[in-house]
């Protein structure tokens, strides 16, 4: 009888082999997230909202949103208090010409300041039929630089809601801000979990740049449309994604980032499934931007009217990031010299952390395309560069941060749990403080928002 030797399995070798295989599987899963973004989803928005766990996440996100709005009101109250003090001093000095404003009036004045003035002017007067040569931002015709969807929405809400166009503008943004919180949660749940959705909504709502959701700005409208577009791309609803992108590109200049997202999602769908219907989204996406340019040109009676107003009235040149770098260096060398430089530096630091989190968590390519284009359009201008409200528009990266941030494991030691939870809540506390301070800073015109 011939004896045969039975191979002895080395536990260490087997363990190493298993580890390698697990790493290979993990890499393939991460690659699938990146390249197969347009795979048919197993659930719809209605299914998500029927889920009890996600409904609890939405409640938590909306509570965070309400808290963030209170922070904004607190910041605006700083400006209100300043006005009261100044007016009373003028009365005491005998130089006052206007009566003392109420707190509500002065707070509303903060929320409709800066670009809010131009959007309200568009809602009231529409676009100019003539743009003077060498126009400056002091002239009302400079309103031609602002996109139409938000002011048109103000008109529609004002037609239905009593109280005037100012109330309509602020009410519209309050509602759309809440909707944007829920949409960020939906996107986070599609890619990760209910827990990540809760953290994403909370971080997004409390981020200092979310002050803009209460100002009479177009960001709330744009983020809702952008989130809908990305969500419809997940579900392969190409027509709806294209319509959302088309309206989005007519809302803000950085809406062109949605064209990039649609293009990447369509390329992935065609490459993996030969789904040529995905090109519908690509074809529709630029309609809003192109249509607005044609409309303004026809209204003003000249070609390239929008670009001329941007160049002459708003001095919008290109620095390709040089302004952001210079401002950041200026902040590091003289931290108390300029609020605008401080905001630029802090915005860049936030972006770096968010990009790192996106790299660690491997967010889908269409999200990366959208975020990269919005970031590039933020850094390219020569005048107003990185700002917290522009960072807020890169909302997919908030989801990446929420997914990457260390969370306590079920079997973690008490020390590990304490570190994970403490650092998270510390960051949220800093966001709340930054939100109130930033609102107050803009209210007293201490920086360009």
For residue range 292-303, what is the model confidence (pLDDT) as tens digits? 999 999 999 999
pLDDT of residue 101: 77
Sign (positive/negative) of CA torsion 208, 209, 210, 211?
positive
- DSSP assignment letter at 447: S
pLDDT of residue 417: 62
Position with higher pLDDT, 168 vs 382: 168
Per-residue pLDDT at 411 exceeds 70: no
- For 196-220, the DSSP string reads HHHHHHHHHHHSGGGGGGTTTSSHH
Across the range 196-202, mean pLDDT stands at 96
The string of pLDDT tens digits covering residues 340-394 is 899 999 999 999 999 999 999 888 999 999 999 999 999 998 888 899 999 999 9
- For the chain, give every domain's residue range: 48-437
pLDDT of residue 302: 94
Six-digit token pair at 442?
Answer: 């803009």
Determine the distance from the C-alpha atom of residue 35 to the mean position of all C-alpha atoms in its chain, rounded to a whole number. Answer: 24
pLDDT of residue 102: 81
Of 79, 258, 70, 247, the C-alpha closest to 174 is: 70
- Bridge partners of residue 381, in order along the sequence: 318
pLDDT of residue 305: 95
Per-residue pLDDT at 18 exceeds 90: no
pLDDT of residue 2: 45
pLDDT of residue 50: 81
Cα distances from 428 to residues 94, 124, 280, in angstroms, run 46, 38, 40
How many CB atoms lie under 10 A from the CB of residue 198?
23
pLDDT of residue 43: 62
Mean pLDDT of the chain: 87
The string of pLDDT tens digits covering residues 200-242 is 999 999 999 999 999 999 999 999 999 999 999 999 999 999 9
Six-digit token pair at 414?
Answer: 């008490």
Determine the distance from the C-alpha atom of residue 407 to the mean position of all C-alpha atoms in its chain, rounded to a whole number. Answer: 24
Percent of the chain with pLDDT over 90: 67
CA–CA distance, 10 with 18 (Å, rounded to integer): 12
Six-digit token pair at 165?
Answer: 């166009």
The runs of H, that is alpha helices, within 52-164 are 52-93, 103-111, 115-125, 149-160
Across the range 17-21, mean pLDDT stands at 54
Per-residue pLDDT at 55 exceeds 60: yes
Position with higher pLDDT, 439 vs 88: 439
> pLDDT band for position 161 (50/70/90)?
very high
pLDDT of residue 315: 81
Predicted structure pTM score: 0.89
Per-residue pLDDT at 163 exceeds 50: yes
Of 255, 287, 281, the C-alpha closest to 268 is: 281
CA–CA distance, 204 with 224 (Å, rounded to integer): 13
Show Cβ contacts of residue 102 under 8 Å, excluding neighbours closer than 6 positions. Answer: none
**Do 351 and 358 contact (CB within 8 A), yes or no?**
no
The dihedrals phi and psi of 31, each to the nearest 5 degrees, come to: -65, -35
Of 22, 310, 65, 47, the C-alpha closest to 200 is: 65
């Amino acid at each position: 009888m011939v004896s045969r030797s039975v191979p002895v399995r080395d536990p260490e070798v087997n363990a190493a082999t298993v580890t390698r295989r697990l790493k290979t599987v993990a890499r393939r899963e991460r690659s699938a997230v990146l390249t197969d973004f347009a795979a048919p989803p197993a659930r719809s928005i209605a299914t998500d909202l029927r889920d009890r766990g996600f409904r609890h996440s939405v409640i938590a996100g909306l509570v965070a949103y309400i808290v963030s709005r209170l922070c904004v009101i607190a910041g605006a109250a700083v400006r209100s208090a300043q006005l009261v003090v100044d007016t009373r001093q003028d009365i005491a000095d005998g130089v006052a010409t206007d009566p003392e404003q109420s707190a509500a009036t002065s707070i509303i004045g903060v929320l409709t300041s800066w670009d809010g003035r131009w959007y309200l002017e568009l809602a009231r007067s529409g676009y100019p039929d003539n743009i003077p040569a060498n126009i400056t931002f002091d002239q009302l015709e400079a309103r031609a630089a602002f996109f139409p969807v938000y002011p048109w929405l103000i008109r529609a809400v004002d037609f239905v809601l009593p109280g005037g166009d100012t109330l309509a503008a602020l009410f519209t943004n309050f509602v759309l801000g809440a909707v944007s919180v829920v949409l960020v949660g939906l996107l986070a749940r599609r890619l990760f979990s209910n827990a990540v959705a809760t953290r994403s909504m909370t971080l997004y709502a409390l981020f200092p740049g979310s002050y803009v959701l209460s100002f009479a700005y177009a960001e709330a409208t744009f983020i809702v449309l952008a989130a809908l577009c990305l969500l419809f791309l997940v579900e392969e609803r190409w027509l709806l994604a294209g319509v959302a992108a088309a309206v989005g590109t007519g809302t803000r200049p950085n809406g062109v980032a949605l064209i990039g997202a649609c293009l990447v999602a369509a390329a992935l769908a065609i490459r993996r499934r030969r789904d040529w219907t995905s090109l519908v989204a690509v074809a529709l996406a630029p309609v809003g931007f192109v249509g607005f340019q044609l409309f303004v040109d026809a209204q003003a009676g000249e070609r390239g009217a929008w670009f001329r107003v941007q160049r002459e009235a708003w001095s919008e040149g290109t620095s390709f990031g040089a302004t952001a770098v210079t401002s950041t260096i200026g902040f590091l060398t003289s931290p108390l010299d300029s609020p605008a430089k401080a905001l630029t530096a802090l915005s860049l630091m936030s972006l770096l952390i968010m990009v790192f989190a996106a790299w660690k968590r491997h967010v889908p390519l269409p999200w990366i395309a959208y975020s990269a284009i919005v970031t590039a359009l933020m850094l390219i201008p020569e005048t107003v560069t990185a700002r917290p409200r522009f960072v807020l528009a890169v909302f997919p990266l908030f989801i990446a941060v929420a997914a990457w941030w260390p969370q306590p494991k079920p079997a973690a030691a008490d020390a590990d749990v304490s570190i994970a939870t403490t650092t998270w809540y510390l960051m949220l506390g800093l966001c709340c403080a930054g939100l109130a301070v930033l609102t107050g800073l803009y209210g007293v015109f201490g920086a360009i928002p």
